[in-house]
Chain A
Amino acid sequence: MKSPEKSTEKTPTTNEPFAFSAANLETYKELLTRYDDVESALLPVLHLAQEQTGWLAENVITYISNLMSIPEIKIKEVISFYDMFYDVPVGRNIVQVCTNISCSMFGGREIYQGLLKHFDTGYLTPTRDGRISLQKMECLGACELAPCMRVNDDFVAITDLTSAIHKLEELP
Chain B
Amino acid sequence: MTEPIKTEVAKTEAAKADLVNLKWNGVDIQAEKGSNLLKAALDNGIEVAHYCYHAGLSIAGVCRMCMVEQDGNPRAFPSCNATCGEGMVIRNDTPKIKAAVEATLQFHLLNHPLDCPVCDQAGECGLQDYYMKHGVYDSQMIDKKVHKPKVQDIGKNVMLDAERCILCSRCARFTEEVTHTHELGILNRGDHAEITVNEELKNDYAQNLVDICPVGALTSKDFRFKQRVWFLKDVHTTCIGCETGCSVKVSQNKNGAYRVKPVYDHDVNGHWMCDDGRNIYKHVSSPTRLSSASENINGLFVPVDELSIQSKVKGLKPKYILSTGLTVEEYAQFFSSLKGSKVEVGLYTLPNLGADFDGILKRGDKNANLRGAKAAFAAAGFDSTQEGLDKILNSLSSNDVVYVVIPEILYNEDHFNTLIKKTEKAGMKLALTPGETLSTLRTFNYLLPVPSFLEKNGNIINHQGLSRPLRAGLNYGETSKDISYYGKWVNV
B and A form one assembly? yes
Chain A residues in the interface with B (C-beta under 8 A): 71-74, 76-77, 80-81
CA distance A81 to B183 in the complex (A): 17
A-B contact count (CB 8 A): 27
A117 to B60, CA, bound (A): 44
Chain A residue, CB-CB nearest to B198:
A73
- Contact partner of A73 among B183, B188, B189, CB < 8 A? B183
A26 to B186, CA, bound (A): 32
B54 contacts partner chain A, Cβ-Cβ < 8 Å: no
Nearest residue, chain B, Cβ from A70 = B182
Taking chain A's interface residues, is the majority helix, strand, or loop, or is none over half, making it mixed? Answer: helix
The 0/1 profile, CB within 8 Å of A marked 1, for residues 183-203 of chain B is 111111100000010100000
CA of A77 to CA of B184 in the docked complex: distance in angstroms?
Answer: 10
- B-side binding surface: helix, strand, loop or mixed? mixed
Q: Which of B171-215 contact A (CB under 8 A)?
A: 172, 176, 182-189, 196, 198
Taking a contact as CB atoms under 8 Å apart, the answer to whether A80 and B182 are in contact is: no
- How far in angstroms is the closest Cβ of chain B from A139? 15
New A-B pairs, 5, CB < 8 Å, besides A71-B182, A74-B185, A77-B185: A73-B185, A76-B185, A76-B187, A80-B189, A81-B189
Question: For B184, what are the chain A residues with a Cβ–Cβ distance below 8 Å?
Answer: 73
Provide the residues of chain A in CB contact with B188, threshold 8 Å. 80-81
Closest to B184 in A: A73
B187 pairs with A72, CB closer than 8 A: no
Question: Cα distance A72–B200 when bound, in Å?
Answer: 12
Min Cβ gap B177→A in Å is: 12
Q: How far is the CA of A80 from the CA of B182 in the complex (A)?
A: 17
- By Cβ-Cβ distance, the 7 closest A-B pairs, closest first, are A71-B182, A73-B185, A73-B198, A80-B187, A77-B185, A80-B188, A81-B189
Question: Is A77 a contact of B186 with CB atoms below 8 Å?
Answer: yes
A4 vs chain B, min Cβ distance (A): 29
B residues in contact with A80, CB < 8 Å: 187-189
Q: How far is the CB of A51 from chain B (nearest CB, A)?
A: 23
| CB nearest to B182 among chain A residues | A71
B182 touches A77 (CB 8 A): no
Closest chain A residue to B197, Cβ basis:
A73
CB distance from A170 to the nearest CB of B (A): 33
Contact of A72 with B189 in the complex, beta carbons under 8 Å: no
Shortest C-beta distance, B160 to chain A (Å), equals: 14
Residues B186 and A72 in contact, CB atoms below 8 Å apart: no
Contacts of B187 in A (CB 8 A): 76-77, 80-81
A-side contacts of B189, CB under 8 Å: 80-81
Question: Which residues of A sit under 8 angstroms from B183, Cβ to Cβ?
Answer: 73
B264 → A minimal CB distance (Å): 28
Query: Are B196 and A76 within 8 A (Cβ)?
Result: yes
Which residue, of B183, B186, B188, B198, has the highest number of chain A Cβ atoms within 10 A?
A: B198
